[in-house]
Structure 1
Amino acid sequence: MFADERRNSPLHNLRDVIGALQLPIIDVKGRAGDFADVHFDIMEPRTWVETARCILRFRQGRKILAPQYRETIEAEQQLLAHTFVSGRSITGMRYPLAPTAVCYPGFFSAEKTIPIAESLVKRGYLRKSFFDRVHECGSCSSRRLSVREECPSCRSADLQETALIHHFHCAALLAEQDFRQDTALICPKCSRQLRNYGKDYDRPGHVHRCNNCAALTSEPEVGFICLDCNAKIDADSAKRIDLFSYSITDAGADFLQTSDVPMIGGLPISLAQRLDQLRSDANMSLAVAEITYHAKSSIIALKGEPTFNRLRALFLENVQNHLAGTGSVHVSASADYLLIDYRESGSEADITALLLRCENILSDHLEASLRFISYPASASQ
């Protein structure tokens, strides 16, 4: 029940503070807005009914959940279950009080929600839709940026729009203020007075004049100032970030209602579901292997996390293509896994050699290694 007004605090991380999902937030102060699931006012009987309906909706949703997901501590399962129980999509909202400039009312803060939601999208349990595109400060990663027109020469924002004057006699093309002397127009190039518009001169358009360096430009550059660290950023060098909203898929809802999915601690939920689908096939000899990237830290330190993620995605695509119908790749936030038919994929040495082939075509080696978590009975003998 939300009774603390937190007058000086943002609300985007309300779920982070209370630390609970699958339970409704009831706003009794009328200030939480979309961040609460329902508003209750003792003076308005209408809100009594709305509050009761909200509580019942959460209760019914929890009843439908398979037992292992009602009190789960796994972040992916928590987020997916809360989406199902609350009946709310993970909808983005612009929020300038947070450095991320986005929040997801009813859920965790964007810093927590986005990585988990993206992982669930890869597994097919959430679908995402474009919400917005923002720019990010390279110094502090804030997205609270002030957009402004700047002088291409000195990057000052002190620009003044002025009319251009074209003097026919000497072909001077300058800002009007360069010609203006009191009330007269005197050409600074040839010192003639301009008297007749259309005969002595014309006005071909407008330009921006920089009051800092006096440069003229018809196309000012776009730049940013970070409102958090005051860094100056060129538009071309600013990092572009696409933001998305998320909603649960039929596969996600079905997964949450399936009670017999074997959950191996720490493994992606997609892998557990795939194991459940294949375990009755007597013709398959299934094994699970974890992929570890020993060069991850060094690549991130030298070239950044986006480069590592790109290399990892290309590597896994190569692995999946080589496995074809003999195995599948499953991705989690912390590690990647292979589910393979041991009879078709060959020995452990063969699979390790396959990983090496898939890695050799990359610009940087990930130093991937394989650790089998479970062997089929025939392979372990």
Structure 2
Amino acid sequence: MPSSSPRVAILGTAESSLSLSPLDRFGDLSELLAAPAYDVLLLDLPGPLAGQALRSLRLSESYRFSLIYCCRDQDAWCTALGDGTPPVDLGALTPLWRLWKERFALFNRGAAPERFETRVLAWLWLRSRGDIHALRDPQVPQHYRYPLLEALAIDESVNAFVWLQLMTQQGLLEEGELVDRLRLCIDCGSGRLNYVDVCAECHSLDIARQPSLHCFTCGHVAPQEHFLKDGLLLCPNCLSRLRHIGSDYDRPLENYRCRGCQAFFVDAAVEARCLDCGQVHEPEKLRVREVRHFRLAEAGRLRCRQGFVSETSHSEQFGRLNLLGARTFREMLGWQIQIVRRYREPAFSLLGLRFVNLASTLAKLGELSGHALVDSLVERLQEAVRETDRFTRSSEEHLWLLLPNTGAEGLASLRQRLARVAELLKTSEARDIELRMVGFSAPQDLLEQEDGELLLARLAGELA
């Protein structure tokens, strides 16, 4: 019979301050990995040592997804790979572990996470506030790395930045806090760049700040030392004596002189020189990359619950509609709002559908009947909408439909056609499902300063 309480162990050094005699204690990581796997680990180590131990533990199949808490000060690796500090009352570990077990059993319909994508989503799914943290590391060319992706990649070669962008475009992940903004080499993608001042004329590196004078009599401009003769200021061109600044001479704005072409200039040009490949670029032409933390999006949670096999996934069945990722849909909606706000045309409409109790009904019906019901819903929706309309699914119950070039009358007509879907839900199998609808037409319903995200939030509140 499976235990209802977790097996907890402590990994700590001889100077460990944590004194919990009932728990198994290990002083060495290799001893811990050699023992039968524990359910929950407590790392009673200084931050840097805890971070190193976490890296090794996450690479181990036994502790890849386990709850691991750092008891002392936490470094960036602890934040990226750990579960934070343990609760003050260690008895609270039991309900946390039970919740972890329940979520693991629900993930991907009980199938083990084998591919890199599913391993990452599983790790996030098992933690209600799990993030993919960016870690600053000057040893890597792009200055930042994602320790969680490196640990879960195992032997696979993964470009973290490209993979995160792809997952975000698919709607499985969403952007979190902006950490930094990098300028990268156009050729090799390195962030190791040296910005140097060069001559504005010949782009020579050999320039120097040098004070100069401007003679008002003849207009000659030259370095200040050329005007000094026997302790007096004399113009080397017209030999006029310069007594008073402002009337005889002044100091021009040109503060730099090129030792190569002898040019004078106010501001030097700037070049970005890559320290890895040696290429030279204009700063404004460098690639710009935003470094962010990432978290699991609503579509990602749907996939984790409903499974990753496209042939049996309800989410994929809805994908037969013109289904967009949540971010792409919001951007398209925002673009429509901007056009209407500026030009007052063409009109467009937005329709929100909520299938109340859909998830629980599908679970109750079982695999075969559940898919038959989803198929019927999708077919009815396909009959009611046009090829140019676009959908997104913000949760298991919420479906949003963007209707370009459709005013209030067209929206009302569509709602009538969707009454057929409501009739389908009145059958005995799906009688617990209720279809709620909310509509919006622009420009008449558009509120001042409202963007796509705020509009969706307002309409979702009306569907609650």
Q: Match of 2:319, SS?
A: helix
> Mean alpha-carbon deviation: is it higher for 225-234 or for 25-34?
25-34
Q: Which TM-score applies when normalising by structure 2?
A: 0.48
Say if 1:24 and 1:58, in contact at 8 Å, map to a contact too.
yes
Residue 175 of structure 2 is aligned to residue 128 of structure 1: yes
User: Could you give the per-residue CA deviations for residues 123-171 of structure 1, whole angstroms, max 9, x where no partner exists?
Assistant: 3232225543322223432111122222223333443223342211112
Say if 1:61 and 1:84, in contact at 8 Å, map to a contact too.
no
Assess, with a 3 A threshold, how the Cα gap between structure 1 residues 282 and 121 changes in structure 2: closer, same or farther. closer
Say if 2:227 and 2:236, in contact at 8 Å, map to a contact too.
yes
Assess, with a 3 A threshold, how the Cα gap between structure 1 residues 181 and 253 changes in structure 2: closer, same or farther. farther
Give the counterpart of 1:64 among 100, 103, 108: 103
Residue number in structure 2 paired with 1:108: 150
In structure 1, runs of 5+ residues without a counterpart are 40-45, 287-321, 329-381
Cα displacement (A) at 1:57: 5.0
Assess, with a 3 A threshold, how the Cα gap between structure 1 residues 327 and 239 changes in structure 2: closer, same or farther. closer
Cα displacement (A) at 1:176: 2.9
Residue number in structure 2 paired with 1:224: 272
Higher relative contact order (CA 8 A, sep 6+): 1
Say if 1:38 and 1:54, in contact at 8 Å, map to a contact too.
no
Assess, with a 3 A threshold, how the Cα gap between structure 1 residues 199 and 105 changes in structure 2: closer, same or farther. same
Say if 1:14 and 1:35, in contact at 8 Å, map to a contact too.
no
Say if 1:125 and 1:249, in contact at 8 Å, map to a contact too.
yes
Between the aligned partners of 1:165 and 1:256, the Cα distance in structure 2 is 73
- Greater Cα radius of gyration, structure 1 or 2: 2
Q: Match of 1:324, SS?
A: coil
Between the aligned partners of 1:280 and 1:160, the Cα distance in structure 2 is 74
Residue number in structure 2 paired with 1:353: none
Cα displacement (A) at 1:281: 0.8
Residue number in structure 2 paired with 1:99: 141
Q: Match of 1:108, SS?
A: helix
Matched residue type, 2:114: I
Say if 1:164 and 1:176, in contact at 8 Å, map to a contact too.
yes
Cα displacement (A) at 1:188: 3.3
Residue number in structure 1 paired with 2:379: 284
Between the aligned partners of 2:247 and 2:390, the Cα distance in structure 1 is 83
Matched residue type, 2:280: K
Matched residue type, 1:22: F
Say if 1:144 and 1:228, in contact at 8 Å, map to a contact too.
yes
Cα displacement (A) at 1:99: 1.0
Residue 65 of structure 2 is aligned to residue 22 of structure 1: yes
Q: Match of 2:236, SS?
A: coil
Say if 1:91 and 1:105, in contact at 8 Å, map to a contact too.
yes
Cα displacement (A) at 1:254: 3.8
Give the counterpart of 2:248 among 181, 184, 200: 200
Residue number in structure 1 paired with 2:123: 82
Say if 2:71 and 2:86, in contact at 8 Å, map to a contact too.
no
User: Could you give the per-residue CA deviations for residues 169-194 of structure 1, whole angstroms, max 9, x where no partner exists?
Assistant: 11223443443457543323323332
Residue number in structure 2 paired with 1:191: 239
Between the aligned partners of 1:50 and 1:187, the Cα distance in structure 2 is 85
Assess, with a 3 A threshold, how the Cα gap between structure 1 residues 270 and 281 changes in structure 2: closer, same or farther. closer
Cα displacement (A) at 1:206: 4.8
Assess, with a 3 A threshold, how the Cα gap between structure 1 residues 57 and 100 changes in structure 2: closer, same or farther. farther
Say if 2:103 and 2:125, in contact at 8 Å, map to a contact too.
no
User: Percent of aligned positions with the same letter in both sequences?
Assistant: 20
Say if 1:15 and 1:107, in contact at 8 Å, map to a contact too.
no
Q: Match of 2:195, SS?
A: strand
User: Could you give the per-residue CA deviations for residues 11-70 of structure 1, whole angstroms, max 9, x where no partner exists?
Assistant: 8x958992765345667997745444168xxxxxx8796999789757734531424376
Say if 2:121 and 2:300, in contact at 8 Å, map to a contact too.
yes
Say if 2:254 and 2:265, in contact at 8 Å, map to a contact too.
no
Between the aligned partners of 1:278 and 1:213, the Cα distance in structure 2 is 79
Q: Match of 1:247, SS?
A: strand
Matched residue type, 1:149: D
Assess, with a 3 A threshold, how the Cα gap between structure 1 residues 172 and 283 changes in structure 2: closer, same or farther. closer
Q: Match of 1:197, SS?
A: coil
In structure 2, runs of 5+ residues without a counterpart are 1-10, 12-27, 31-45, 152-156, 321-370, 393-464
Matched residue type, 2:168: V
Residue number in structure 1 paired with 2:202: 154
Matched residue type, 1:100: Q
Give the counterpart of 2:316 among 265, 271, 280: 271
Give the counterpart of 1:324 among 385, 388, 401: 388
User: Could you give the per-residue CA deviations for residues 97-120 of structure 1, whole angstroms, max 9, x where no partner exists?
Assistant: 111222234443895333332222
Residue 219 of structure 2 is aligned to residue 171 of structure 1: yes
Matched residue type, 2:235: C
